Each structure stands twice: as structure tokens, then as C-alpha cells.
Amino acid sequence: MVKQHFKFDDAPQKDIEQPLEEKAGNVSAPNGSSQAAVNLVQGLTLVHGSYATQEGVHASAKAGPKRKRAVDFFNDDAIEKPSLDGHAVTKGFSYIAQSPAKRQKILESRTNLPIAKHADLLRQKIRENNVIILLGETGSGKSTQLPQFLLQDFSEGCIGVTQPRRVAAINLAKRVSEEMDVQLGKEVGYSIRFDDTSSRQTKIKYLTDGMLLIELLRDPWLSKYSTIILDEAHERTLLTDLLLGFMKLLLKRRIGMKVVVMSATLDAERFSKFFDGAEIVKIEGRTYPVELYYSKISQPDFLDAVLRTVFQLHLGQASGDILVFLTGSDEIENLAKQIRDYSEQLKKDVPHILVLPLYASLPQDQQARVFHATPRNTRKIILATNIAETSITVPGVRYVIDAGLQKIKAFNAKIGFESLEISPVSQSSADQRTGRAGREAPGKCWRMYQEATYKSLDKSAEAEIRRVELSQAILALKARDVDDVIGFPYIEPPSRESIVRALEHLYSLGALDDGGSITTIGKQMSTIPLPPALARVLLASQKEGCVLEIVDIVSCLSVDGVFLDRPDQREEIAESRKKFESVEGDHITLLNVLRAYQEVTEGVSKWCDDSFLDKRALRTVTDIKKQLLQHAVRANMDTTASASAAPPEHILRAFLTGFVSHTAFLSPDGSYRTTTGNSAVSIHPSSVLYGQKVEAIVYHESIFTTRLWVRGVSRIESQWVRDVAPNWAGRRSA
């Protein structure tokens, strides 16, 4: 394919339809400063160039030179378009009976997908092979259509489709149930952590990687499944890589089992080689041209750059929704507030702005709002993390703003330390983000970084198994009778050092014995849908007599945060937080927050706003709590309410049982030194213990920015460490 590409330094500047000052005429900052608003919409100086990347990713066949066939044997003339009416191939299902007009619209939509004309061929290839690699370009329809095609041949069992992200599993299941005209939860369902809509009737089941791993624990043969489709395998998440290994083992034991590995990037050869030369089938995609804009200069404050660009586009571009890629919920919520505040000052004849966040811990009903039709005379501004990169299509998006950053976990095996870091995305991720603007029509993408920065990015992201702490993975293997965790068939093996660190950590939790075999506690931990450390905390709460308190705290720790962080209101927030604060630290403070929230019977939303609490996060916490209580009951734990609250010492000792490796002691120089790696850490400003000096602390997580910070911090006594894990306590004096 001939690629068209301007030299960006020579390309003509393509200004955003100016003058913005005129359109912003009556704009004023929320606090009344009109100059601030005028400054806001002055905007970035951006350079325009055509967008050229891998074949077919961001340019439709109609938009450029005629493309070669994705695979030689895809002969359009030789293949009749199959009947995509679900009623024709799935007799006996309980149909909802959609209106004829809606049914026709859905069928036309399915028939027009690029994958539709290859349905019979795909069915044939999967019948002939136990495993195939399906390389489906963006917009091909592979995630929704392939499971439906396979119902015609493999309906004797369930067809499982794994997804790395919950939001994708949910929305794909909803879409397919609508296409098949069946009720969600019957023939089509989904299963994610803390939510399962599937049933015995389910024939197509979308589920996260982690949920299929849990099913492997209960049924190592996955006997209810005829086919497993591993979608988005190119993302190479830790759990996806584990599933690839388990599928390779299962294919040797289960005759007739079918596995399809689906990828949206050209990494198919690696998957083919892993599955002993499995056949690669390529499907073309359907995308539209995307005009690409780079920042001319480096943007030291990318959030300010994003804010300015949002209003530039809103005031200067034609209709169409805007998708903004950011790193996390705090950034998203802060920027959402700023956009809402400024938008209230726009002229009345300017279209309204509807700001919608999209991140993993957001309640499902809030996530679903981004998929609803945009109201008239309104532009949606969707502020998302990388969960919007793949799998899902947000309708109406014509513009993308990419900050070019992501929040990832990084593990240093040499010192045994894992931290959250904000890092640049890969070129592959940047391309995926750009492509979101061209899913339904021609679009535009603004990158908040220079072209030279893009060229310096890694071509693809490093596999998670090479950079994260592996306790969860090793526990999953041990619980599934994989004793030789080094010899497990990894598609890309982790470092030996990382495996050893994980084994040591699991031993400290009591999940493994001296010989490295899984213990009774380890088996219990593996059934709880929590990271190993939190699962251990939950089990330890029974002995300490604080099950309900720990369930509350763990539920709070399972979301990004319950406190709002607004830079312009930090003094008010700090003052409001005092009524919840505990001298013991953040864990008891979280308990106080949730207990206070549960006591509010009227005006919950206003109470949250007045207390600077994230009401959406607290709703999610409540849902998680219900699920954790069910797990506690199944584990025969005492979940009856006590007349008196458990003492803070008991609660913190239970927490310490799971986080003994996350302890630090005060040094003579005033710094805290971790028991793992002897690293110097500082208590994060968001902690109630910030600025205090105590003998020892336990922390939930660490994050690296200008220095190594620890968050979720509580004070402990050094004797507790010796009581809970005497072997670990010895490290401090070693």
C-alpha cells in the first residue's frame, strides 16, 4: 500500500477554525475573570499532517489506493453472504421479539461489517483446526460476530470470549444479546469480578480473563465450553498470558476443544509460533481517515493543554463528540470539573457540553452513559483512561485528544518493590487511540506531544508479565496444580528473579509452605477475587474478630479513591476530612467514611458533595462490599454484627498479615525505610499521617512521581510485625 505522509516540519499549518476569541466573547472564568477564559481558549499551536500507519488501521479502502486482499483465499465472489438473522441459526432461544424496523437495522449493520462475508470460511477454518490466530483489524466486527457465527457449529457447549477489561465484557455482551434478540443473562451473558449475569442457558459468555481463571480452578477441563476465544490478546496482560499457557496445556488434553486467539495488531506470528504453527487468518477492518495534529512545542502541563484544546475544538470544530485519553480517575474528575465550570460561562448559542468520565472503577450505570446517544445541541466530552483504547466503540466520537500517557504498575525485582508510575504510551497504543476518531466517519486527533516524541516511543508495550509483581500469577498457577512455575508454558517467560520474589511473598503470606506447595490458606486465597495480599487480610480478619470492618476497608481500597481531590479547594477538603480522620491512619479513616456514608438516609448526594466525597466511588464500594460478604459467608467467616466495634489494633493487625512486605520503619535521619529493599519512602500528602513521624507504618501501595511515595498508610508497632511474621521481621535487623 502506498503511504501518504507530509513532512511535519514542512506541512502547511492548518489552524483550527478561528477566531476563537470572537466565539468565546462572553466567556469568563468560573471565579469571574474574563481574561482567564480568554487565555484558556487561545489554544495550542498545532501542526497538521496526514496520518499514515500500518495498512488499514486508520485509512479506509475508499479513502486511498486500492488495497490488497488481507488473505489471498478471501474471494468475495466465491462466498455468499451468510444469513445473519440469529433466529435462523439458534432455534429454541427465548427471543424478545424486536420491532421489524429495529431488527432490520441490526441485520443491515451486521451484514455491512467486514467480517460478515467471511463467516462460512471462518467456521470452516475453526472446524478444521483446534486453534487459529485471527488477526482482525479495527472495525472488523470480530468481537461481536465470531461467537455468533460459531453457534451454528459448536452450540453443544458454551462459547467463552475473554476480555482484559470489564467494560468491554459488559458492553459486548449487551450488544450481542441485542443482535440476537435475546435477554441479557440468558442465552448471552457476562461474568466480571463481583457481577455475573450468565446462567445455565448461556451459550455466549463474555468474561474477564480473571473470571475464566477462576473457572479453571473449579473445572480444570472447562468442560462446559466448546470454544474459548481470547480477545485482545495483543494487549498481553498478565492474566491473558496465563490463559494462553493454560489453553496450550488444555488443547493437549481435550480432544475437540477449540481456541481462537484474536489480535488487532501484527503480532500474530508470535501467537502462531506459541501454538505450534497455528494458522493465521486475517480479516480487513473498516475505519475512516483520521487527520493528525501534533503539538509544535513540548507541553509541561499536559492537563492545561488538554483543557485548552477541548474548548478550541468545541468552539471551532463541527459537531461530533470528543474522546480524551488521560491516566487516571483523579485527573479525569478534576478536569471534568474544570470543563463544566468553564462551559457554564459560554454564550447561550454555543452547543451544550456533556462531560462523561470513563474509567474502570466507575459504576456500571455511569460507564453506560458514554454509549447513550448524544442529546440535541450538545457535544459529549468523554474523559477516559486506556480502557477506551480497544474493544469498545463509543458512538459519535469524531475527535480524539491524546495526552500520550498512562498509569502502569512497575516492579523492581532486585529490591522487591512495585509502584504505580505514569509513563508514555507505546506507538501501538497511540495509534489505537488515534483510530478511535475514525470508527464511524472521518475524524481528527490532537496529540499533546511532538512528532519527535512519538517517533521515540516503544513500538509496542512491554508485556505485563515482564514488569509487574507476580504473586497473583504464581498463586493462580499453584492453585491449579502447576508446581513447576518456571517450566509453565509462558508465551514470554518472566524473569527468574521476579518468580523468586513472588514465591517469597506468597510464603510470607502463608500461602505456600517450606517446600513451595500451596497451603490450605493459599487455596482459600485463590478463590477470593482479590489480589493475594487483600485476600489474606480478609482471611486474617476472622482470627482478629473484625470481619465486617475489614470487608469495609478492603471494599474502599478496591476503588481508586473515595475522597475528591480538587486542587483549587484543598484547604476546604482538608478541613472537611477532619471529621473522618483517625489518629491510627488511613485505614480506620476509610472505615469511618463508609460507616458515616451508610448512616445517611436522605440527601446522600448533597452530603457527599459537602463532604468532598466521591459518591460514585462510594456506590461502587457498597456493591463490592455485598459481594465480599458473600465470599466471607462461603468461607464460614463470622459476618454477624457485633454490639461493639473491633479495636483499631485488631483491624490493623489483620491488615498487617497481608501487607507485612509493605512496612517501613522510621530511621534516625527522619526518613522511612522499607523492610523490602531498604528503600527510602515518604508518606503521600493525601494521607492523614502526612508530616507525622511514627515508629513504623504499613502502607497499601506506592507511587513514583518526583520521589517514592506510599499511600494508604497506618501506624503500627514493630512488635506486631514480629508477632505476625517473625521471619519477615528479621529482615530489618539483617
| pLDDT tens digits along 414-433 | 777 778 889 999 999 999 99
Strand ordering across the sheet containing 258-263: 195-196, 188-192, 204-208, 158-163, 225-230, 258-263, 131-136, 279-283
User: Top-level CATH class of 20-51+288-464?
Assistant: alpha beta
Rounded to a whole number of angstroms, the distance between the first and last alpha carbons of the chain is: 63
Q: How far apart are alpha carbons 645 and 659 in whole angstroms?
A: 22
Helices in 265-301 by DSSP H: which ranges? 268-274
pLDDT value of position 50: 32
Q: Work out the pLDDT band at 406, boundaries 50, 70, 90.
A: very high
Amino acid 668 reads P
- Strand-pair category, 378-384 with 397-402: unpaired
Phi, psi angles (nearest 5°) of residue 701: -155, 165
CA 656, 660, 666: angle at the middle one, nearest 5? 95
Closest CA to 714 of 635, 653, 661: 653
When computed from its CA atoms, the radius of gyration of the chain, rounded to whole angstroms, is: 27
pLDDT value of position 96: 58
Q: What would the grid cell of residue 210 be?
A: 480473571
The owner of cell 486508520 is 58
Yes or no: say if 160 and 212 are a contact pair by the CB < 8 Å rule. yes
Average pLDDT over residues 101-122: 87
DSSP state for residue 122 in the 8-state scheme: H
pLDDT value of position 77: 33
Yes or no: say if 213 and 476 are a contact pair by the CB < 8 Å rule. yes
Amino acid 50 reads S
Q: What would the grid cell of residue 35 be?
A: 481574561
Predicted confidence (pLDDT) per residue in 10-54, tens digit? 333 333 333 333 333 333 343 433 444 444 444 433 433 333 333
Average pLDDT, the chain: 84
Could you tell me the maximum CA-CA distance found in the chain, to the nearest angstrom? 80
pLDDT value of position 450: 96
Q: Which long-range contacts (CB under 8 A, 24 or more apart) does 70-75 make?
A: 70/137, 70/282, 70/283, 70/284, 71/281, 71/282, 73/121, 74/117, 74/118, 74/121
pLDDT value of position 97: 59
| pLDDT at residue 732 is higher than 70 | no
User: Which of 346-360, 477-491, 635-649 comes out lowest in average pLDDT?
Assistant: 635-649
> Same topology for domains 20-51+288-464 and 68-283, yes or no?
yes
| pLDDT at residue 261 is higher than 80 | yes
- CA distances, 673 to each of 60, 417, 476 (Å): 56, 12, 31
Predicted confidence (pLDDT) per residue in 152-175, tens digit? 888 889 999 999 999 899 999 999
CA 276, 278, 280: angle at the middle one, nearest 5? 145
Amino acid 354 reads L
Question: The pTM is what?
Answer: 0.82
Amino acid 145 reads Q
The owner of cell 481500597 is 557
Q: Which residues have a Cβ under 8 Å from the Cβ of 97 and sit 6 or more positions away?
A: 181
| pLDDT at residue 80 is higher than 60 | no
Yes or no: say if 557 and 700 are a contact pair by the CB < 8 Å rule. yes
Predicted confidence (pLDDT) per residue in 356-401, tens digit? 999 987 878 888 899 999 999 999 999 999 988 877 788 999 999 9
Half-sphere exposure of 687 (CA within 13 A, CB side): 27
Amino acid 97 reads A
Average pLDDT over residues 575-585: 94
DSSP state for residue 717 in the 8-state scheme: -
Predicted confidence (pLDDT) per residue in 120-152, tens digit? 999 999 999 999 999 988 788 999 999 999 998
Half-sphere exposure of 19 (CA within 13 A, CB side): 4
- As beta bridge partners, residue 418 has 411
pLDDT value of position 112: 86
Q: Which long-range contacts (CB under 8 A, 24 or more apart) does 622-630 make?
A: 622/555, 622/598, 623/194, 623/195, 623/363, 624/194, 624/555, 624/558, 624/559, 625/551, 625/552, 625/555, 625/594, 627/194, 627/195, 627/529, 628/530, 628/538, 628/551, 628/554, 628/555, 629/551
Q: Which residues have a Cβ under 8 Å from the Cβ of 247 and sit 6 or more positions away?
A: 131, 228, 230, 259
Average pLDDT over residues 684-701: 94
Q: Work out the pLDDT band at 492, boundaries 50, 70, 90.
A: very high
Q: Judge residue 414's burial from the number of C-beta atoms within 10 Å of its C-beta, 0-12 exposed, 13-18 middle, 19 or more buried.
A: exposed
How many CB atoms neighbour CB 630 within 10 A? 12
Alpha-carbon 355 to chain mean position:
20
**SS3 assignment, position 674:** strand
Predicted confidence (pLDDT) per residue in 241-256, tens digit? 999 999 999 999 999 9
User: Which of 105-109, 314-318, 471-475, 696-700 comes out lowest in average pLDDT?
Assistant: 105-109
- CA distances, 123 to each of 107, 154, 244, 378, 691 (Å): 19, 10, 21, 43, 63
Predicted confidence (pLDDT) per residue in 628-659, tens digit? 999 899 888 988 877 678 999 999 999 999 99
Host H or E run for residue 125: helix 119-128
- Strand-pair category, 672-674 with 663-666: antiparallel
CATH of domain 68-283: 3.40.50.300
Amino acid 255 reads I
Q: What would the grid cell of residue 217 be?
A: 480452578
Yes or no: say if 584 and 648 are a contact pair by the CB < 8 Å rule. yes
| pLDDT at residue 339 is higher than 90 | yes
Q: How far apart are alpha carbons 431 and 678 in whole angstroms?
A: 40
Predicted confidence (pLDDT) per residue in 35-46, tens digit? 444 444 444 334
| pLDDT at residue 239 is higher than 80 | yes
| pLDDT at residue 67 is higher than 50 | no
Give me the residue spans of the domains in the chain.
Answer: 20-51+288-464, 68-283, 528-640, 659-734
| pLDDT at residue 2 is higher than 50 | no
Its sign, for the CA torsion 528, 530, 531, 533, is negative
Check residue 89 and give left, alpha or beta (phi > 0: left; psi -120 to 50: alpha). alpha
How many CB atoms neighbour CB 731 within 10 A? 18
